[in-house]
A and B are shown apart, each in its own frame.
Chain A
C-alpha cells in the first residue's frame, strides 16, 4: 500500500504551477518552467517503473 506514494508524487510535482513558473535556473538555455516539467516526464516513468517492479504479482494493484 505504501508504494502508492510513488503514484501521488507526479501530481504534487506538476499540478502546482507557482512551484515552477520561473525562468531560472535555466538548462541549455531552456527556462526552468519548461525543463522542469519535461524532467517530470522522465521522473514519472522511473517512479512507475519502480512501482510496477515492486508490486508485481500482487492482486490489489
Chain B
C-alpha cells in the first residue's frame, strides 16, 4: 500500500502550488493544444464549447472534489471505486466503476498520442507524412516515460511543460493576430474561409446548435473530474484547502484554452489547409515562427501531451490494480506496485488500438466519447457522496443501460459525439454523454424502490 501510494499519489503531500502545476499539467492536454483548435478550425463556433466547459467544470470540482477528498482521506481511499465498494458494499459495482475508468481513459490517451503524432509527422526525418512512424515514436516515448516516472516525476515535468506552453501561447497571441491585421480581420477572414468549405461552417451558432453547444459544455464539465487521472492528482493534495484554492486558481489555464481555440481561426484566416485538421496548430506555428522557436513550440505540444498521458496511464493502472486485481493478491504492497507499473504499458497499448479501430472524424471525439462512458459512474460515485438512497443493483443496471445507450448512439451517429433525438414531432441534437446519463438516472432511480420492496430492509 505504502509503495503504491508513493508511486501513484506522490505520498499525498502536494501543496497549493505543486498541485496547481500538477492539475494544470494533467487537465490541459493535447485536447487543449491540438484538438480544440482543430475543431474550431473545422466546425467554427460550435468548437468553442470547450471554453464554457472549462469554466463551469470548476464550480462542480469545488463541490464534488472537496467532499470526495475528505472522505478519501478519512478512509484511506486511493480510487473512486474504493469509495463505491465501501458505500454500497458491492464488489460487482466496485469492479464496474473501476473498469469504466480504465476503458474511458484509453480514448483520452489516444487523443494525446494523436496530438504527438501531429508534431512528429512534420519531421521529414521520419518520412514526410509518415503517420505510422510518427505514432510509433509517440507511443514508445509514452511507454518509457510512464514506466520510469510515476506521479512525482510528472509533477516536476509539469513545471517545464507549463513554462513552455505559456511561452508558446503568449508568443502566438502576440505575433500571429497582428500579422493577420488584428482580431477583426482574423474573424472576418476565418468566417469567409469557413463559408467556402465543402461543409460550410459559421463563426456563430445556428439556432439548432444552441442545445448541442450547451449540452457538450455541461456534459464535459460533469465528466472531467471523475476521470481516474483527475482523481489521482486531486488525492495527491495535502489538504482540503489546497483543492478549494486550486478550484479558484485553475481557471487561469482555461483562459489559455480559449486563446488556443482562437488559433483555429488564425489557421483558417491564414489559408492553412490540411487534410487532417489535427495538423493545423503545428502548421500555423511553423508558418509564423522562426525555426528555433518552432522547435520550442513543438516540444511544448509533445510534453503537453506526454505528461497528461502518463498521468492517465498511472490513474488507470492504479484503478485496475487496486480494484480489479486486488482480490488475487493478498498483499497489496509490492506486488501491486509492480502490477500497476506493468499495467500502464497495457493501458497505453490499448489506447493505440483506439486510434486504429475507432474512426472518429475529429480527434476531440475520442475525448467526448470517452466522456460519455466515464459519465456513467456519476450516479454511483458523485450522487453517492451525498446519499445512500440508491440500491447497488439499481445503480449497476443504470450503469449498464447508460453504457449500452452511449455505444449505440455513438455507432448510430458514426462516432461523432452528438446524437439527434427525434421525439414529439421535433428533433434535438445533443451530447451523447448527457442522453446516456439520463437513461442511467431513470433506470437507477426507478429500480431502487422496486428492489427495496423485494428485500427486507
Of B7-15, B53-61, B390-398, the segment with at least 4 beta carbons within 8 Å of chain A is: B53-61
Taking a contact as CB atoms under 8 Å apart, the answer to whether B52 and A40 are in contact is yes
Which residues from B are CB-within-8-Å of A61? 62-63, 66, 244
Count chain A residues whose beta carbon lies closer than 8 angstroms to a beta carbon of B. 33
Partner of B218, one of A15, A22, A30, A41: A15
Q: Does the CB pair B55–A17 fall under 8 Å? A: no
Residues 233-268 (chain B) with a chain A CB within 8 angstroms = 241, 244-245, 247-249, 251-252, 254-255, 258-259, 262
**Interfacial chain A residues near B255, Cβ < 8 Å:** 38, 41-42
**Contact of B164 with A by CB under 8 A:** no
Q: Do A29 and B214 have beta carbons less than 8 Å apart?
A: no
Assembly CA distance A47 to B262 (angstroms): 25
A interface SS class: helix
Bound Cα distance from A59 to B258, whole angstroms: 34
The reply on B354 being an interface residue by CB < 8 A is: no
B48 sits at the interface (CB 8 A): yes
Total number of B residues with any Cβ neighbor in A under 8 Å = 40
Q: Which residues of A contact B251 (CB under 8 A)?
A: 41-42, 44-45, 48
A34 contacts across to B, CB distance below 8 A = 48, 187, 258, 262
1/0 contact trace for A1-30 toward B, CB 8 Å? 000000110110011111001110010111
Picked from B55, B204, B214, B248, the residue with its CB within 8 Å of the CB of A23 is: B204
Q: Is there an interface contact between A10 and B187, defined as CB atoms closer than 8 Å?
A: no
B203-243 near A? 1/0 per residue, CB < 8 Å: 11100011001100110000000000000000000000100
Q: Is the CB of A48 within 8 A of B218?
A: no
> B56 and A11: CB pair below 8 A?
yes
Q: Per a CB cutoff under 8 Å, which of B183, B204, B247 touches A28? A: B183
- In whole angstroms, what is the CA distance A27 to B221 when docked? 27
Answer whether A10 and B214 are a contact pair too, CB < 8 Å, given A41-B254, A52-B244, A52-B245. no
Report the bound CA distance from A8 to B56 in whole Å.
Answer: 9
The 8 A CB mask of A41-61 against B (1 = contact, 0 = none) is: 110110111011000100001
Instruction: Tell me, in angstroms, the Cα distance from A34 to B255 when the chains sit together.
Output: 12
Q: Closest residue to B188 on the A side, CB-wise?
A: A29
Q: Is B185 an interface residue (CB 8 A)?
A: yes
B182 located at the interface, meaning its Cβ lies under 8 Å from any Cβ of chain A in the complex:
yes
Q: Determine the residue in chain B with the shortest Cβ distance to A55.
A: B244
- Contact between A7 and B51, CB atoms less than 8 A apart: no
Give bound CA distance, A61 to B66, whole Å. 7
- Separation of A38 and B255 alpha carbons in the complex (Å): 6
Known: A14-B217, A48-B247, A48-B248. A21 touches B204 (CB 8 A): yes
The chain B residues found within 8 Å of chain A, CB to CB, are 45, 48, 51-52, 54-56, 58-59, 62-63, 66, 182-187, 203-205, 209-210, 213-214, 217-218, 241, 244-245, 247-249, 251-252, 254-255, 258-259, 262
Residues of chain A touching chain B, judged by Cβ–Cβ distance below 8 Å, are 7-8, 10-11, 14-18, 21-23, 26, 28-31, 33-34, 37-38, 40-42, 44-45, 47-49, 51-52, 56, 61
Q: Can you name 6 extra interface pairs (CB under 8 A) apart from A15-B217, A33-B205, A37-B51?
A: A7-B63, A11-B59, A11-B218, A31-B204, A34-B48, A45-B252
